[in-house]
């Protein structure tokens, strides 16, 4: 019997988090959780390799810019053409499977409860619950909560949340300060990766990101973009009822589900 089954949950870092950035094809497969079965509009520049994706409502924008220091970008706004409410940036070494899991959670939230996508919550306990339940170590300071992986890979991965401004930041904390960081890999390792979230990222999305550190995820599956006939069927469903939607690459049980909003802390 595995340690995971004996303890009722994982006790170390999930293997997919240590696999590195993968091949260029994995990037498109990660983005296909948005562009494939969901059919979100997207543009790919073959000369630069840049790919940009936007939700049909214009609230969510994601992209991969391979020549940038932080090639994966995710912006969420509360209205079209507005400044982002929050954003996330992923380092080049971040496994596409991890990126896809977070993008899928954002898309599911947009579909089920769009207000929750921009409703900033500061529930540190919700963000870290999946890790603490797996036996990860939690440390609190005056301004920061840090949760790190236990044995046998102690300190190899973690989640850090800044609860209050650093002294040098004064009373106000810039909306776009990277106050939440998810990481995996040893210090100074070329395979180390990080994901930085800005201050107002909803807590349940931080929890979804943390979940990928300890729970296995299905492999990436490339989804073909829907053709004109499929798009027309979505605009005009058959009178006998909607066509059952096939499951996405991330089963509902794999990711945190939308719950009633919790009061901010």
Q: Render pLDDT for 106-162 as a digit per residue (tens, 0 to 9).
A: 999 999 999 888 876 678 888 899 999 989 999 988 888 999 998 888 888 999 998
Report d(CA 179, CA 166) in Å as an integer: 10
Per-residue CA distances from 212 to 12, 98, 246 (Å):
11, 6, 22
- Average pLDDT of the residues in 172-181: 68
Mean pLDDT to the nearest integer, 84-103: 90
* Mean pLDDT, range 22-47, rounded to an integer: 87
Average pLDDT over the chain reads: 76
Higher pLDDT, 166 or 45: 45
The Cβ-side half-sphere exposure at 47, using a 13 Å CA radius, reads 0
- Find the angle CA(257)-CA(263)-CA(265) to the nearest 5 degrees: 110
Q: What is the pLDDT of residue 142?
A: 80
Task: Say what the pLDDT of residue 172 is.
Answer: 55
pLDDT value for 214: 87
Tokens for 236? Answer: 């005009």
Model pTM score: 0.73
Q: Percent of the chain beyond pLDDT 70?
A: 68
Higher-pLDDT residue of 168, 146: 146
3-class DSSP assignment, residue 134: coil
């Amino acid at each position: 019997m595995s340690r995971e089954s004996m303890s009722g949950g994982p006790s170390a870092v999930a293997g997919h988090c240590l696999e590195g950035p993968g091949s260029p094809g994995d990037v498109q497969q990660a983005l296909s959780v948005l562009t494939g079965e969901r059919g979100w509009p997207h543009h790919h520049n073959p000369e630069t390799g840049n790919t940009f994706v936007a939700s049909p409502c214009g609230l969510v924008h994601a992209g991969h810019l391979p020549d940038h220091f932080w090639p994966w970008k995710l912006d969420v706004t509360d209205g079209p053409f507005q400044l982002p409410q929050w954003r996330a940036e992923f380092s080049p070494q971040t496994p596409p499977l991890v990126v896809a899991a977070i993008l899928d959670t954002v898309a599911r939230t947009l579909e089920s409860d769009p207000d929750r996508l921009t409703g900033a919550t500061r529930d540190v306990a919700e963000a870290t619950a999946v890790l603490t339940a797996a036996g990860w170590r939690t440390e609190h300071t005056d301004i920061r909560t840090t949760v790190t992986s236990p044995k046998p890979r102690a300190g190899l991965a973690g989640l850090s949340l800044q609860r209050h401004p650093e002294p040098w930041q004064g009373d106000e904390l810039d909306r776009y300060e990277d106050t939440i960081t998810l990481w995996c890999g040893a210090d100074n390792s070329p395979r180390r990766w990080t994901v930085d979230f800005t201050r107002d990222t909803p807590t349940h999305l931080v929890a979804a990101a943390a979940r990928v550190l300890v729970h296995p995820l299905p492999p990436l599956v490339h989804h073909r973009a829907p053709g004109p006939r499929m798009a027309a069927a979505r605009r005009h469903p058959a009178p006998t009822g909607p066509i059952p939607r096939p499951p996405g690459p991330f089963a509902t049980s794999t990711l945190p589900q939308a719950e009633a909003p919790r009061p901010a802390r």
